[in-house]
Structures are given as structure tokens and as C-alpha cells.
Structure 1
Amino acid sequence: MAINLEKGQRINLEKGNGTKLQNICVGINWGAIVKKGLFGFGTIKEAVDLDASCALYNDQKQLEEVIYFGNLRSKNGAVRHSGDDLTGDMDGDDGLDNEIITLELPALPASTTYVAFMLNSFRGQDFGAIPFASIRIYEGTPTRVNEVFAKYDIAHGAGFAGHVSMVMGVFYKRNGEWKFNAIGEPTNDKDLQNTVQTVTARYL
């Protein structure tokens, strides 16, 4: 089921053999900003703190819970955050995700109908200033990637420069079946709280 989604595309979470996807990971990989040193000599590396977050909603589009660096585990454990990375890759791209949110779809509470994923630049560093920053949404575990079905390059993607927040995508349940909407859009929000409000108003 190797599907590289375009922004705005929706898919059923079903593999080629007809079985449903169950374990989803959202991984973020990014690097520190490199600036010229004093008087143009050498370089200085500036740590970048990007924050992946996840919001759960019921079928009335009412917020149930937010999983982020200050709340690493949902109440029933179906959603888990790997922890806050405050710097990004300081020595170039190591190919590993700096933050990962794991979602077990079958373990979600029966009331949960929407699961939205967001990304915020905690210190307000512009996405366009980051040398590399990529998102992948895949089936598997934090240590095993089975199938990647959405990728975003926010460091070089058109439209992300000048923004510090974005909505990655929304998993939603219809007639008992989970589907995925690849949103991949920057927002004008400055922090997580405002981004959650934008998701609630525009993306569910």
C-alpha cells in the first residue's frame, strides 16, 4: 500500500490484502539552523524546537484530549508521544525521526471520531529557515517502518515559508472505518492552542 499522498487526498486505511491498518506512526525529522558567524567567519548552529501534537475529538467535534510534549500519553494509552526534542539534528541529517507519535487505531475510545496531527515551531522559527524538516506518516512502529503513506517536506515545500504552525492530517471514522485526510497546510497560528482551535473550526 505504498501511497505517497498529495495534499488534500483522502484514503481508506486498508492494505492490499484487505486488512486494516492498525498501528500508525507520525514521525518528524528536522535540523538545526546554520548561520554565518561573527563578521562572516565560520558558522553558528541554532537549535530548532519543533513540536508534534495530536488532538482527539468525538463525533460532535468536541475536543477530548491533546497529546503533546506536556502530555505524552492519552488516557487509555492508545496515543503515545516519544518526548520533546529541543534541538533537532545539530550535526546534519541522521535520517532518524526526532519526534514520533504512535497511534493504535483499534485501541482508541469508542467515542473518538477524529484524530488530528499538528506541528508547531515552539520558538517561532520560520519553517522556511530550517535547512531540512520532513514529516512521514506510516504504518509500523517507532523502530520499524512498514509502509509510508504520506510525506511532507516543510523546509522546502511551497507555502510553508513564513509560517510556524501547520496541520499535517486528520484520521476520521466513517461507518466504523478509519480514513485519512492528508491536509499538509500551514496555518497563521503562533502556538499549539490556536492551532487546535483552527483544526476544530476548519479541518474536521
Structure 2
Amino acid sequence: MAINLEKGQRINLAKSDGAKLQNICVGINWGAIQKKGMFGFGSTTEAVDLDGSCALFSEDKRLEEVVYFGNLKSKNNSVRHSGDDLTGDIGGDDGLDNEVITVELSNLPATTTYVAFVLNSFRGQDFASIPFASIRIYEGTPKRVNEVFAKYDIANSANFAGHVSMVLGVFYKKNGEWKFNALGEPTRDRKLEETVRTVAANFL
């Protein structure tokens, strides 16, 4: 059964049968903005470009690398990005993730201790205006969901109004085991580089 994550909640990466999870996906789903025309006639569709990114840090909080739309895989291929979605779902939620970042925890570099996920609104549309934006963490591949074990809703909270960047959460290694800290923290950053610096300074 999936866990609905709350801000600040920490979870062990265990499947329902108790086995430790090694291969995970972080999927982000959102919709284009539908706007009514003047005097209520017709409507227009405004594309939304959300960018999910993954930053790897060492135990001493040194940035090792960032996987994002401009760098779709880590050096050893343990982290992979599905590619940039420039519009969001048009015509309603199709139930599929628009961007997926895949992480093979067992193949991460031995020096990697933190794996942080952030979300940025490339065109500067604040999160409160973007339909059904959400994150889910599951076992499987971008095309096959075996088991969803965590969900996080980022669209239905007033806390995100006026923000265009946020920290979704951080995977961290403790005593040789991986755990997840659900953050859901909006930041005042405008760009990915700024958000990554904010993660290092405040959330590791």
C-alpha cells in the first residue's frame, strides 16, 4: 500500500513484503494550464515546463553531479532522466508521469551519501497555478510500475503559492541502508543551480 507522504516524514525503503528496495523511480506528473477566453468565450492552453532534477552529494555535502534535462544520466549510469517535458498534460490528467528519474541505489558511487530531488518551474509559473502536480516513488521502470510505495501531492497546498522551485525530498544512506526524507519545501530560488545550493546548505 502506498504511503501518502507528509512534510518532514522519513521512511525506510522497504516493500510491502519487507524486502529492501534497490531500484526506484521518482515520477512527476502535471498538467498544462487551461485559461478561459475573454468574456468566458473559448479557452487557451498554456504550456507548463516543470523540470525534475537529481543532485548527488558526498557524506561531507560536496556536490558530485546533477542529473537534469541537460544531463540525462550520471557518469556511471546509476541515475537516469527520461527527458524534458515542455508542456505538461493537455486536456486533463492522463495518469502517466511526465518526467521520470530512475535511481539504482545499489549502483550509486560508494562516495554518494545523499540523493536529492528538486523541482523547478522553468517558465516561472508558480506551483499553485499548475494542475495536479504530484510526485510518486515506486519500484519498477519508467514504463512499468511494480509497486507504488510513496506519493506526495504538491498541487493542493497554499504553501506553494508564489513559488517556482522546491525540494521534493532527499534519499540518504545511514548505517549502510537507504532511507527517504519527504521535504516538500518551497524555496525562493528561481533556477536549478540556486536550488541545488539551497539543498546543500539547508536540507542534508
Q: Give 1:52's aligned residue.
A: 52
Structure 2 length-normalised TM: 0.95
* Aligned mates of 1:6, 1:200 — CA distance in 2: 21
Q: Give 2:11's aligned residue.
A: 11
* Aligned mates of 1:16, 1:35 — CA distance in 2: 42
* Aligned mates of 1:2, 1:78 — CA distance in 2: 24
Q: Give 1:134's aligned residue.
A: 134
Structure 1 length-normalised TM: 0.95
* Aligned mates of 2:4, 2:152 — CA distance in 1: 9
CA shift at 1:16, angstroms? Answer: 4.2
Unpaired segments ≥5 residues, structure 2: none
Unpaired segments ≥5 residues, structure 1: none
40-49 vs 62-71, which moves further: 40-49
Contact 2:3 2:151 survives alignment (8 Å): no
CA deviation vs aligned residue, 1:18-71 (integer Å, no higher than 9, x gap): 421011111111111111224442111000000000000011100000000000
Residues 155, 4 of structure 1: CA spacing in aligned structure 2 closer, same or farther, 3 A cutoff? closer
> Root-mean-square deviation (CA), in Å?
1.3
29-38 vs 42-51, which moves further: 29-38
Contact 1:155 1:161 survives alignment (8 Å): no
Query: Aligned AA for 1:120?
Result: N
17-26 vs 168-177, which moves further: 17-26
Contact 2:2 2:150 survives alignment (8 Å): no
Query: Aligned AA for 1:104?
Result: E
Contact 1:5 1:149 survives alignment (8 Å): no
Query: Aligned AA for 2:153?
Result: D
Would you say how many aligned residue pairs link Structure 1 and Structure 2? 204
